[in-house]
Structure 1
């Protein structure tokens, strides 16, 4: 009989934080083109719309930077609950907005919650997952993100027929529902076993591991004891180094990993994905597509289906190959759209619109550009979208994981803020060149991954030191199969021994080690 609360259902529940992320991205796309929104907020275009759009990303940047202090002290689970409260407050302020200023404040407060969830949810999922399906569990957040995008856009479309300000107030208010559901459900979910161990709550860590790894919650299961021992041994080593500060993140040992995590998150934004997500309606209008609702819905549906495919297969494909192929696809389709805009486009004769460059009377060209946007979304959702969520928490050690992941996602949100602020103006000034710029960044991302990003699939979090320090170039993946099966070998050794005695001896041994470490630390 399948247990109701297992790794998949736990990861799916916390992935509702990804749904909030999707709601955030789509929270403006279906509304900015409606008559009701333009009339009430005095038709914001250019920098004015940029400020409104980027307010949430700015709040998310701050939330990401604050996340490690809450995640390390209050636990990953409680931090996500705090984030849902902030999101609800922000959504209420948006739905009650009496003007642009209140709307910006509401989006900023909601952004604080998104910054916390986007950073902490993948950490939590990575820390509860076994290495064999870690990618699958983390990419459930991508599935939830795609679902949130599509659901919010359809809600906004349905409400656009309301001939009052409820057409945008109602969609913003509905955003509170998944947050409330997530807040309540988290009371039944376990804390991260690695966080518990780092807090010296060893017995709780062992029981949570047994709950997550054993069908009957057997704390004497050899695989449970093997992973428990590996976590404890890694924490002992980390404590002997006596450092978990930001200073260590930029030290020689971890600097490369931090840079990789931050650059991957930055290149995710520089691919142009949020240019597409935020302003797809404007792009479609500029190519004379009169049925923007159906066209936009197809885009979001492609993203959702692709994220489901990735969740199933990512642990077989691997991270590195996915990123390389994704970069090729994204650069190709973005540059193709820019070239078509440049050759067949013309100046928009209608003033005070969000776009100044249009394609008129060329349905075949418009169709190719629309198809390019779909194929770009497919390439992104099969590669950079999910991998950028799983890679940073995988490669950073426990003692600085929350801090390092926070800096990585803060990079994402900083660039998200800049893009959201600048795109409405750039879209009116440099027009088609913006596609070429984003496509060029995807070319750069291919070169970065080719030279500096190692493969991490099927590795435990405790094995990442060897992945990055095996002595060869990073592009040459670490393939020591004997070490790769270390957990299985240890589990077999435990199984051959008296597991009850092994567990008792292990706990006494670790208790003594902890006292020695604490004594040495107090002397220093």
Structure 2
């Protein structure tokens, strides 16, 4: 093996002649293995974003934090994540996808520990800042890695893994909120944050066994290493050869255009590149602007407005929302490579519009007398989100970006996602205070309706196409 080659067990196995000669299974397990490990960062991301949903009840009482401070603390992690999102593209292009995942987990180790030990609001914000950088990194690197390691036959499924892992992390944070809620107030919320450190220990060992992205290896001129990974992550030897040929062709085209700087300069001259970036930015905007994080981070407040007064019941119903949201993504994962991206996105945005309008109408009609109706419509909303635009915004964005722009383009798209999420979460309490719960959810319903129109008018189907084929589809060559 040439110097500088990654000595992971996966690559070591691929260097054996017998492995290359053997007939591979129709659906290869190796890309699944790598995508799962990369997506574990998404568990940590989901946990750190959503843990304040229940912890805020106890922090406010223990430290005397106001509603305005809670609103800023809950939403600031999304603004802080801009730092990580914008750095992640640069880091992943220079250090590689694997080392970027290692760095991501370091932020998720330090941030929650700082918050768990915080003695006041300033320390909480400092810990939230560190965790926020990790959130930005995770949102960029997990879908990029999954898309680049996967063969076309399972790319939709594997690229959906980060989203289900995010929701798994959200659900775990709700379970943590519920499990520690019975402890003394000064201890309960600290353990909620500290529990988020545990998964980083297991992930640290797993990352060492991951293969590096074959596309990144090819970008760095490491053709032999890229071929070893492709041999183990493709459905057949001929597919591995075909993927390598396509990657090399795109890398050569990128080099001829002047590298990354030349690629970004195409914005002024290449309508296809402008269309791709506009599509990514719009899709990420609509994913968050329809208000999903208002439910994720303020579920107990929404339920309290519907007449639920018991803290135990509030946190228990929050777990129900988390289970519904996470389990619905399994539907998206099972159907995206069968039905395609476009049908699921249309069904998702349409159902979100209807459920949000119904939720708003329930509040307008006096939801405090029918809490069960509010719970039903919230569940319908999170299920509709998770079966389509939740996971597929990341899948679609990672697919259509050209290789020469994928790392930094994903960072820009993630920055849009986090800015919008930050605005939504940092204004929700003030918004419903000004226009009522009904008005807030009618606004979100209107945005969801606009997202349906956008998907219908602007998004072509990408199912079954190789990543390199996207350049033809969007005319970015």
> Quick check: TM above 0.5?
yes
Shift of 1:11: 1.2
C-alpha distance in 1, partners of 2:114/2:419? 23
Match of residue 313 from structure 1: 335
Shift of 1:233: 1.7
Shift of 1:107: 0.5
Pair 1:385-2:402 in alignment: no
Match of residue 475 from structure 2: 469
Match of residue 350 from structure 1: none
CA contact (8 A) 1:147 1:304 kept: yes
Match of residue 96 from structure 1: 117
Helix, strand or coil for the counterpart of 1:188? coil
CA contact (8 A) 1:249 1:400 kept: no
Shift of 1:296: 1.5
C-alpha distance in 2, partners of 1:261/1:288? 39
Encode CA deviations 1:339-376: one digit per residue, 9 max, x unaligned.
221232xxxxxxxxxxxxxx44x23xx32222111101
C-alpha distance in 2, partners of 1:293/1:170? 16
Shift of 1:249: 4.3
CA contact (8 A) 1:284 1:370 kept: yes
C-alpha distance in 1, partners of 2:272/2:283? 19
Match of residue 451 from structure 1: 457
Match of residue 520 from structure 1: none
Relative to structure 1, the CA distance from residue 470 to residue 155 in structure 2 (aligned partners, 3 Å threshold; closer, same or farther) is closer
Helix, strand or coil for the counterpart of 1:469? coil
Match of residue 346 from structure 2: 324
The within-5 A match list for 1:277-426 is 277-289=296-308, 290=310, 291-344=313-366, 359-360=367-368, 362-363=369-370, 366-426=371-431
Q: Which moved more, 1:258-267 or 1:158-167?
A: 158-167
Match of residue 135 from structure 1: 156
Match of residue 265 from structure 2: 247
Helix, strand or coil for the counterpart of 2:460? coil
Rg: which structure is higher? 1
Relative to structure 1, the CA distance from residue 164 to residue 50 in structure 2 (aligned partners, 3 Å threshold; closer, same or farther) is closer
CA contact (8 A) 1:393 1:405 kept: yes
The within-5 A match list for 1:69-148 is 69-148=90-169
Match of residue 18 from structure 2: none
Shift of 1:247: 3.0
Q: Which moved more, 1:8-17 or 1:185-194?
A: 8-17
Match of residue 295 from structure 2: 276
Shift of 1:5: 6.6
CA contact (8 A) 2:294 2:425 kept: yes
CA contact (8 A) 1:33 1:281 kept: no
Encode CA deviations 1:431-453: one digit per residue, 9 max, x unaligned.
12110110000011011111111
CA contact (8 A) 2:45 2:134 kept: no
- Equivalent pairs counted in the alignment come to 446
CA contact (8 A) 1:18 1:145 kept: yes
C-alpha distance in 1, partners of 2:463/2:373? 36
Q: Which moved more, 1:97-106 or 1:284-293?
A: 284-293
Q: 2:239 aligns with which of 223, 228, 241?
A: 223
Relative to structure 1, the CA distance from residue 214 to residue 319 in structure 2 (aligned partners, 3 Å threshold; closer, same or farther) is closer
C-alpha distance in 2, partners of 1:9/1:236? 29
Higher helix share: 2
Match of residue 27 from structure 1: 51
C-alpha distance in 1, partners of 2:200/2:340? 31
Match of residue 510 from structure 1: none
Q: Which moved more, 1:282-291 or 1:199-208?
A: 282-291
C-alpha distance in 2, partners of 1:115/1:183? 19
Match of residue 506 from structure 1: none
C-alpha distance in 1, partners of 2:238/2:359? 55
CA contact (8 A) 1:281 1:296 kept: yes
Normalising by structure 1, what TM-score? 0.82
Gaps of 5+ in 2: 1-23
CA RMSD of aligned residues (A): 1.9
The within-5 A match list for 1:246-265 is 246-249=264-267, 251-265=270-284
Gaps of 5+ in 1: 216-220, 345-358, 472-524
Helix, strand or coil for the counterpart of 1:175? helix
C-alpha distance in 2, partners of 1:470/1:59? 32
Normalising by structure 2, what TM-score? 0.90
C-alpha distance in 2, partners of 1:19/1:182? 11
Encode CA deviations 1:22-53: one digit per residue, 9 max, x unaligned.
1023211112223xx222221421x3211111
Match of residue 490 from structure 1: none
C-alpha distance in 2, partners of 1:39/1:283? 19
Q: 1:14 aligns with which of 38, 62, 71?
A: 38
Encode CA deviations 1:285-319: one digit per residue, 9 max, x unaligned.
11112422332211111111111222122111211
Match of residue 476 from structure 1: none
C-alpha distance in 2, partners of 1:422/1:305? 28
